[in-house]
Amino acid sequence: MNIREWSPYDLIQQALEVRERAYAPYSGYKVGAALLATSGKIYTGCNVENAVYPLTLCAERVAIVKAVSEGDRHFIAIAVTTENGGAPCGSCRQVLREFGEQIVVLIADRTGNYRQTTVAALLPDSFGAEDLEFPTSFLARRSATEDI
């Protein structure tokens, strides 16, 4: 799928819809995400809070895990919606980075007003697999099968 073939508005709309299903009894801060894979499929996710706060699942990571569990690992864009247009947290930025610095990130508020950026802009000078000391054969095998 070509990046010109998708609509930011459609992706944001799906993120707004799934945001309503968020489980946020502690913070009340509902987040929705819609992740567009290169296959053309869209994976949605919402935040799921937990009384043990570190176990809370962010909407962005829920969408990514759903995509990977369904076989998609290459992404074009993600829309993230919150009440006030809050940006993805650091953990979500790093998880997105695992799948590509070029991923477009649409950050929208509850009315659909949005700004557009990229994972690279949200996480400058980031850390990735290429920074790990893997044997050359592993990195070659990974790039041949993953095409990241």
In this structure, what token pair is assigned to residue 16?
């707004």
Give catalytic residues, as residue numbers.
60
Distance, in Å, from the CA atom of 98 to the CA atom of 68, rounded to the nearest integer, reads 12
Element (H, E) at 45: strand 42-46
Between the CA of residue 122 and those of 27, 32, 72, 80, 86, what are the distances in Å?
Answer: 24, 18, 23, 13, 12
Distance, in Å, from the CA atom of 53 to the CA atom of 16, rounded to the nearest integer, reads 24
On the CB side of 46, CA atoms within 13 Å amount to 15
